[in-house]
Structure 1
Amino acid sequence: MPGEHRAGEPPPEPRAAGVLAQALGDLRAVTVDPEALPVAGVLPELTDALEAHGSAVLHAPPGSGKSTLVPGAILEAGLAGEGEIWMLQPRRAAARAVARRLAELQGSALGDTVGYQIRFESRVSPQTRIRVVTEGLLTRRLQSDPGLEGVGVVIFDEFHERSLQSDLGLAFAREVQEALRPDLKILAMSATLDPEPISRFLDHAPVIRAEGRVYPVRVTHEPSPKPRELPRALSRAAGSLREEMATGDACEGDILIFVPGVRMIEDTLARLRDDARWQSWDLLPLHGRLSSEEQDRAIQPSRRRRVIVSTNIAETSLTIQGVSAVIDTGLAKSLRFDSGLGMDRLETVKTSRASAEQRAGRAGRLGPGRAHRLWTEADHAGRGAFEPSEITRVELSRLLLDLRAWGARDVDQARLFEAPPVASLDRAERLLGDLGALDEATGAITSLGAKLAALPLSPRLGRLLLAAQERSVTSLGCWVAAWLQEGIRLNRGPAGAQSACDPLEALRADPPRGRGTVERSARQLARILGEKLTPSPRSWTGEEEEALCRSLLEAWPDRVGRRGASDSVVLADGRGCRLAEESALHGDELLLGLAVDSGRRGERARSLIRVASRVEQTWLEDLGGVTEGDEVSWSEGEQRVTAERVQRYRGLVLSRKQVPLQDREAAAECLLRATVDSLERGLGLQDADREVLHRMSLIARLLPEEGFPEDTHLWLADQLPRLCAGRSSWRELQSLPPGSRLLDGLDWSARNRLDTLAPERLEVPSGSRLRLSYPPEGAPYLAVRVQEVFGWEVTPTIARGRQRIVLHLLNPAQRPLQVTEDLESFWTRTWPEVRGEMRSRYPKHRWPEDPRSAEPSRRTTQRRKR
């Protein structure tokens, strides 16, 4: 028999299908001999390692006996002393099943030597030495009893699933072991995770390995059906496997079908029950919401053949005897952060390759098996190797709250097995501050935060329920929290709505599919608060609705929005949204966006508010979140700064009213911001201003050592604080004297050097001081009548001789006569011809043969004679 082979030994050769079928029939009525399980062979090594080091890591595949054999061996070795052995399980159903199996092996009733404790359910006594618990219970126990009094060993089973609570519990337990309880033993058990990192985390704890016994499993694939077609595809696949078993092509046994959720379980079983060919089989569900008796029917051995349709609860935590075939949808419900809801929610996701191998391995425990996957081999190759740890994919406000309640200021101090993403931690800290759980100044946990930490809920849901309880609408709060948590969508539009609270309207409406799930969740929430749940709300008073809406506001204070034109909404975080047509909030100015979907391509760019609730401004004021103050802004139409008295909730504008401008400093700053990107337009630059800028630019290029700015645009922007001081409009800026308003930005020395190196005016031989022109491109030039430069022999220069002046020589009519930057050449070569032409045209003016020696003149001959 396969069960007779120890760890590390090869499995026997596969037997004929008929012989194996008889063996499987026997195994449906009895359990496997524990001594034959692979882990049995390494128990002495494991207990020795724990005793010597205080911590250890056990690496063994699913079904090898980790959960059922290790606690008893530790108890028998006396490693817990007089204390209990706590073994953590990731799921409640697994905790119950493992505890029952352990009790059987100990030969005691459940609740005596072996017991279990999960939320809302406990089977323990003063005689209990082995306690199987869900992971969150350890964290809460450590928060209230850091010394973990009465506990000698903590076992982290299925650590490869890497839940947030297991990571947190391991970090806390290690700290307790190091600081308070060196006698505390810690054991991490994993089926697939690389054990070396865990070993290093536990101060290089010994790693014990047990090799599994897995028979060959033949795996086939088919393309993934559409979600609505999954039950039909599963029924068809199960029928094919049944036929293979009947013809001997597959070993006879039970069929285990993996689906993502309870609804899919129900749909699949309903389709199978409609097929008469399954009448001789037991068709059974397996999921965490079933009673322990219902779960036992699927888990415990049976003489009848079975089809068990299960969630991923049967993947690693539970061993189901008699399974020889597996059908896998490749899907599972996984906790993910829902940014639209602002908290975690179960989503259907593709499983990893490691998960698929574990599921397929369920068919190879007792002999050769079959596994059929509803996805292609190419899809399989593209899947992740392992499931991402929860700490990388969920909202971390619960983690951060637990850390602060523990006394850890930051993640580094807590020394978690895996560091969480920084962005997720920052978001969590902001949320806890918004909820009032952390002191915004010190980051320390508040009294409200301590209350939230004591609840086994996300901080948002905890805040909603505490607020509802304070306002005496606990049941309404539980129903709405459950509705939001389960993600049931609105199923009717605003017509006929009796309230401005979408969750209440949804609960009042005809029961949607999933109402049973919502009710179970609501009852659990009420039990957490120690209250009784009233029936699903169909009517409520205005006071009750207001109390609930106020409670929602306290849990989602960051989701307040204000309606604009049409269906547009602006949220406090600045996001532009639109309100779903199904919402009852279309007539309200203020609302709370409880569920916000990001806008997708083709749906308009704005996000969609799927679920909303009403908000009154007085409620925001009661929260202390409304501020009022005078704000200045730029009026593009008036080209001036205006002032308004603005009421805001966070970044959301609630009201505006224009008031006289009082804050001149703020006005100048606003004027500067409006002008900096429109310098020419705002300052109204004139030619005199541009001349100043071009003069500086020219000297910066020719004489960089003088320190003038070559990029005059940047220099001009730097002058804005001076120019805008005490002013509030472009009109005031433009009224400043052109040219000098810029020169005033230079100190005395720089201004003097500028006037020397690039003067505004140049004195010519006639005595006139004429304006030099400085174009943006090219050399500066001087427009002058030719009679005024008689006596100049060469072209004048500026900038210490590095720049010639271009002379625009004019005739008596002020029209261009010659443009030259080589005056000497002009006198020598061109002047004789020009002189001859000009003498006949302007006989009353002087046209000497040698202008270099002639007397310059600003006047005509006639005027000189008079």
Structure 2
Amino acid sequence: MRAMSSAPPSFPITPLLPQIRASLAAQPRLVLEAPPGAGKTTQVPLALLDAAWLAGQKIVMLEPRRIAARAAAQFMAQQLGEAVGQTVGYRIRFESKVSAATRIEVVTEGILTRLIQHDPELAGIGAIVFDEFHERHLAGDLGAALALDVQATLRPELRLLLMSATLDGERIAAWLGAPRISSPGRSFPVRVDYPPARTQESIEHQLARVVRQALEENDGDVLAFLPGRREIARTQAVLEETLSLRERVAEGRERVRAERGVEASSDPHPRSLSQREREENLEVVALHGELSLAEQQAALAPAESGTRRIVLATNVAESSITLPGIRAVIDSGLAREPRFDPNSGFTRLETVTISQASADQRAGRAGRVAAGTAYRLWPQGKRLEPARTAEITQAELSGLALELAAWGITASSSAALPWLDPPPPGALAQARELLVSLAALDTDGRITALGRRMLELGATPRLGAAALRAPPELHALAADLLALMEARSPLRGVQARSDDFRARVTALHAWRDRRGAAARGEVDSGALAAIEQASKGWRRRLDVRTAASGVPDSHAVGDLLLHAFPDRIAHRDDGNPLRYTLANGRGVRLHENTALLGEPWLVVLDLRLEARDSLVYAAAPLDPRVLERDYPLRFSRERTLRWNDERAAAEAFDERRFGAIVLERRSVPVKPADALPALLAAVRAKGLDALPWSDHARRLRARMQALRAWMPELGLPDVSEAALLASLEDWLAPRLDGRHRLDALGAEELTQALASRLDYEQRRTLDAQAPESLLVPSGQSRRLEYAEGEPPVLAVKLQELFGLADTPRIGGGRIPVTLHLLSPAGRPIQVTQDLKGFWERTYPQVKKELKGRYPRHPWPDDPWTATPTHRAKPRERR
């Protein structure tokens, strides 16, 4: 193997390296499971460099995060005694350190996809290593599927190695058809504690309090996991407020050691414990993906002697990077992940609960160098999902759909990739529709020239469309917009509440023009510096030499971004200056203190989804003439029908539209052929209660539905609300034809329309087996009442049933009638389906109680032989 700069350090993975080399020599795929700290990220690629099957070719290692990619390349280069960019290099977005001598190239996910798309044969590449595959990023799943396709069709000798600390190794190995190797790792015991939160305590204050506890109870540094940069900044402020902490920590540590029986004589240092602890320095360090390279390197470097660190990190610190000296981990249990809402078409970063696998991996960070403690800021009884959900199942898929089209896979093609978890068909179809609207795909789903340029640019399809359709003189502004759209808002204070996206552009340009001197408290200079770095990268890709400056024209920002969001173009409603209609038909609203009041046209860039009108978080005004110029086919003129609730009538209009936005509307006469669809649509919207139901019609429908349930073999039609609404054209449309209003339909006509659902034989069967009324022994006909799911009810005076022994039955004798037996005054006496039992057991008591109250009515001793009657006895003459 290649000589190291010194004796190679020993890692838990070291004993397994010969087995890994042998496995890949024998077969081209392998799954490697190794916990954090095992050394798999940096030791395995180096161990494979001299493998015979590699034959001097490159190893490409996919690392999901930029911080980890840089750190891994730097560590491997140090082991070889070289600078990054020689044998070991890396390529991440807007940054590359590789050379002709590079044999191990660490790349992030988008870079790998571009490598495969540019050269499907992967000339000069002998192995692809997928590190931290358990994170299940969308681009990682795509890269693995493409690599498997390449291996199966073009490069059977290509080696594929999937590595992870926490994955379902058995499932992954079965999917790959590959052997599995597991490393035990090296870790020390980690005590897990669940310190309870206090009432109404914010996560920042709870974490700061637990930091103090962790510093008192443990040696070494503290690593705290928070969901995002915002929480990190707030926690850092709380800690720095309370970090006169040094004195409290020293006192607390003395108290803890005293409780554990540590005497001063056991301290190896001649100074007293109190003096040593009081001289200790504390440093609070942030670690997240938006830091500059220098800030990231400083966060990953060991602390100075005598300094203890509190590292506040996002989930970038879960794996792949080494933080020396960590002895305590504080876990908020939260992470920030993208979630796509297919109904609105918006993707938002949401704060979500982490999986159990992530919690275990975070806790393991406390046991890398010695026994440690993990403090979890959630109740001990809370159950977490076992593993992280694959991003492909919940992300916006337009980028994936464009990559598939470039690979030759369309909705109509039979080709498919070997997915571990395939993309949801509905989300993929929606993504393809968006790409067609952006002109990235043609109507047959094939990639266009613009679509290929979008892939080359490397932005999301929406932002790529905006940048590539911008005129050359606005490319510098387009680069700024790409950087700003992908970043969090740099505005602070009162400005942070502005919904005018142009304020962010103005802040960036002011910061740039003044070379960093921005209005204090109104912007985040660190965020602007990160945005400027990204903008430089986009300017290079767009071949722009000079950055934009000054205040852009009032419509310039919106006129560019409308090409990214043609479905989110919004027009102000005439009756409400805060309400807008989007081109996709949804409604949105501006908040009361909006900076955009009075703008007739907007492109909406961010919003909070709500059931009715969603709240706009960020938007920019646009010039409607750009729509006329660039989207002429989206304008249409059509005749539309609308239901007027107040008039209960159909109305017709001639409308000019942009998408779902009505630009002009003129009332026109309603044609008979036009009215019918509007009437039926009104019934569907309002429900069957909008129709003039008579009691007779309601009873007929109840009888039909009851007999359908009791005797399914008759094949009676379904007359439930859902079924009738679904079949309005069959039974109701003939009765409404030629009418403009629902109230023009009479109740009797509605009854006839319902009855038309039955043929002659079915009607006869209905009258026989689910009759509207029953003839009782008194000779009177009494109505049956039907209710869904219940037996029919017959309310009848007791005297009318004398001589009737058994309960009447209907529905082919299957359904006993529920008898509501009434007193002579019509009040309920008994509810029963057992008339014979009533006569035998209950009637004597009823007779005893009611005979005196109703003396003019018959109360025979033997109801079996008595004459039924509905009349009282005639009065005796005096």
Code of the aligned partner of 2:315: N
Q: Is the 8 A contact 2:225 2:314 kept in 1?
A: yes
Which of the numbers 539, 562, 568 marks the counterpart of 1:553?
562
Residue 789 of structure 2 is matched in structure 1 by none
Secondary structure in structure 2 of the residue aligned to 1:79: helix
Residue 73 of structure 1 is matched in structure 2 by 47
Secondary structure in structure 2 of the residue aligned to 1:36: coil
Q: Is the 8 A contact 1:526 1:533 kept in 2?
A: no
Deviates more, 1:453-462 or 1:181-190: 453-462
Task: Say whether residues 1:627 and 2:636 are aligned partners.
Answer: yes
Which of the numbers 183, 189, 200 marks the counterpart of 1:216?
189
Q: Is the 8 A contact 2:329 2:374 kept in 1?
A: yes
Tell me the alpha carbon deviations over residues 440-459 of structure 1, each in whole angstroms, 9 at most, x when there is no partner.
x3122222222222232222
Tell me the alpha carbon deviations over residues 791-846 of structure 1, each in whole angstroms, 9 at most, x when there is no partner.
xxxxxxxxxxxxxxxxxxxxxxxxxxxxxxxxxxxxxxxxxxxxxxxxxxxxxxxx
Residue 442 of structure 1 is matched in structure 2 by 444
- CA distance, structure 2, for counterparts of residue 525 and residue 609 of structure 1: 25
Whichever of the two has the greater Rg, that structure is 1
Deviates more, 1:180-189 or 1:114-123: 114-123
- CA distance, structure 1, for counterparts of residue 368 and residue 634 of structure 2: 61
Code of the aligned partner of 2:452: A
Which of the numbers 573, 583, 589 marks the counterpart of 1:578?
589
Task: Say whether residues 1:666 and 2:674 are aligned partners.
Answer: yes
Q: Is the 8 A contact 1:59 1:190 kept in 2?
A: yes
Which of the numbers 527, 543, 559 marks the counterpart of 2:537?
527
Residue 173 of structure 1 is matched in structure 2 by 147
CA distance 1:463–1:368, shift in 2 (3 Å)? same
Residue 825 of structure 1 is matched in structure 2 by none
CA distance 1:647–1:94, shift in 2 (3 Å)? same
Q: Is the 8 A contact 1:337 1:345 kept in 2?
A: yes
- CA distance, structure 1, for counterparts of residue 529 and residue 560 of structure 2: 20
Code of the aligned partner of 1:582: N
Residue 92 of structure 2 is matched in structure 1 by 118
- CA distance, structure 2, for counterparts of residue 174 and residue 225 of structure 1: 51
Which of the numbers 207, 214, 218 marks the counterpart of 1:241?
214
Residue 399 of structure 1 is matched in structure 2 by 400
Secondary structure in structure 2 of the residue aligned to 1:142: helix
What percent of counterpart residues are identical? 38
Alignment of 1:603-622 (within 5 A): 606-622=613-629
Residue 91 of structure 1 is matched in structure 2 by 65
- CA distance, structure 2, for counterparts of residue 338 and residue 110 of structure 1: 41
- CA distance, structure 2, for counterparts of residue 492 and residue 234 of structure 1: 24
Tell me the alpha carbon deviations over residues 220-262 of structure 1, each in whole angstroms, 9 at most, x when there is no partner.
2223479995555444434433333xxxxx4x33333333334
Secondary structure in structure 1 of the residue aligned to 2:52: coil
Alignment of 1:107-506 (within 5 A): 107-202=81-176, 204-224=177-197, 229-244=202-217, 250=218, 252-266=219-233, 268-269=235-236, 271-272=239-240, 275=245, 280-281=281-282, 283-301=284-302, 304=305, 305-309=307-311, 310-337=313-340, 342-378=345-381, 381-410=382-411, 413-439=416-442, 441-467=443-469, 469-470=470-471, 472-488=473-489
Q: Is the 8 A contact 1:99 1:114 kept in 2?
A: yes
Q: Is the 8 A contact 1:363 1:371 kept in 2?
A: yes
- CA distance, structure 1, for counterparts of residue 667 and residue 108 of structure 2: 60
Secondary structure in structure 2 of the residue aligned to 1:555: coil
Secondary structure in structure 1 of the residue aligned to 2:54: coil
How far the C-alpha of 1:672 sits from its partner, in A, is: 6.5
CA distance 1:506–1:349, shift in 2 (3 Å)? farther
How far the C-alpha of 1:216 sits from its partner, in A, is: 0.7
How far the C-alpha of 1:461 sits from its partner, in A, is: 2.2
Code of the aligned partner of 2:12: P
- CA distance, structure 1, for counterparts of residue 315 and residue 127 of structure 2: 28
Code of the aligned partner of 1:546: H
- CA distance, structure 1, for counterparts of residue 93 and residue 280 of structure 2: 37
How far the C-alpha of 1:376 sits from its partner, in A, is: 3.1
- CA distance, structure 2, for counterparts of residue 710 and residue 359 of structure 1: 57
- CA distance, structure 2, for counterparts of residue 639 and residue 293 of structure 1: 69
Q: Is the 8 A contact 2:302 2:325 kept in 1?
A: yes
Q: Is the 8 A contact 1:437 1:445 kept in 2?
A: yes
How far the C-alpha of 1:369 sits from its partner, in A, is: 1.6
Q: Is the 8 A contact 1:164 1:390 kept in 2?
A: yes
- CA distance, structure 1, for counterparts of residue 325 and residue 654 of structure 2: 75
Structure 2: give runs of 5+ residues left out of the alignment: 247-277, 511-517, 708-714, 765-780, 785-878
Q: Is the 8 A contact 2:346 2:606 kept in 1?
A: no
Tell me the alpha carbon deviations over residues 271-298 of structure 1, each in whole angstroms, 9 at most, x when there is no partner.
4466555863555443334444443444
How far the C-alpha of 1:131 sits from its partner, in A, is: 1.0
CA distance 1:110–1:723, shift in 2 (3 Å)? closer
Code of the aligned partner of 1:307: R
How far the C-alpha of 1:187 sits from its partner, in A, is: 0.3
Code of the aligned partner of 1:316: S
Q: Is the 8 A contact 1:68 1:98 kept in 2?
A: yes
Code of the aligned partner of 2:674: A
Q: Is the 8 A contact 2:490 2:527 kept in 1?
A: no
Secondary structure in structure 2 of the residue aligned to 1:68: helix
- CA distance, structure 1, for counterparts of residue 650 and residue 344 of structure 2: 40
Structure 1: give runs of 5+ residues left out of the alignment: 1-29, 245-249, 701-706, 755-774, 779-866
Q: Is the 8 A contact 1:475 1:526 kept in 2?
A: no
CA distance 1:225–1:610, shift in 2 (3 Å)? farther
How far the C-alpha of 1:85 sits from its partner, in A, is: 0.5
Secondary structure in structure 1 of the residue aligned to 2:155: coil
- CA distance, structure 2, for counterparts of residue 227 and residue 101 of structure 1: 44
Tell me the alpha carbon deviations over residues 140-191 of structure 1, each in whole angstroms, 9 at most, x when there is no partner.
1111111111100000011111111110100000100010011110000011
Residue 608 of structure 2 is matched in structure 1 by 597
Tell me the alpha carbon deviations over residues 657-686 of structure 1, each in whole angstroms, 9 at most, x when there is no partner.
12355x66435554676799999999999x
Tell me the alpha carbon deviations over residues 62-119 of structure 1, each in whole angstroms, 9 at most, x when there is no partner.
1111012111111122332231011111111211111122122233332221111112
CA distance 1:639–1:137, shift in 2 (3 Å)? closer
How far the C-alpha of 1:548 sits from its partner, in A, is: 2.3
CA distance 1:386–1:534, shift in 2 (3 Å)? farther
Q: Is the 8 A contact 2:490 2:524 kept in 1?
A: no
Secondary structure in structure 1 of the residue aligned to 2:374: strand
CA distance 1:625–1:324, shift in 2 (3 Å)? same
How far the C-alpha of 1:328 sits from its partner, in A, is: 2.8
Deviates more, 1:369-378 or 1:282-291: 282-291
- CA distance, structure 2, for counterparts of residue 95 and residue 394 of structure 1: 23
Q: Is the 8 A contact 1:502 1:611 kept in 2?
A: no
Q: TM-score scaled to structure 1, two decimals? A: 0.69
Secondary structure in structure 1 of the residue aligned to 2:395: coil
Residue 35 of structure 2 is matched in structure 1 by 61
Code of the aligned partner of 1:433: V
Q: Is the 8 A contact 2:495 2:522 kept in 1?
A: no
Q: Is the 8 A contact 1:522 1:533 kept in 2?
A: no
- CA distance, structure 2, for counterparts of residue 219 and residue 578 of structure 1: 47
How far the C-alpha of 1:57 sits from its partner, in A, is: 0.6
Q: Is the 8 A contact 2:5 2:81 kept in 1?
A: no
Code of the aligned partner of 1:647: R
- CA distance, structure 1, for counterparts of residue 235 and residue 557 of structure 2: 38
How far the C-alpha of 1:311 sits from its partner, in A, is: 2.8
- CA distance, structure 2, for counterparts of residue 279 and residue 134 of structure 1: 39
- What is the root-mean-square deviation in Å for CA atoms of aligned residues? 4.8
Secondary structure in structure 2 of the residue aligned to 1:595: strand
- CA distance, structure 1, for counterparts of residue 661 and residue 529 of structure 2: 36
Residue 514 of structure 2 is matched in structure 1 by none
Which of the numbers 64, 67, 77 marks the counterpart of 1:103?
77
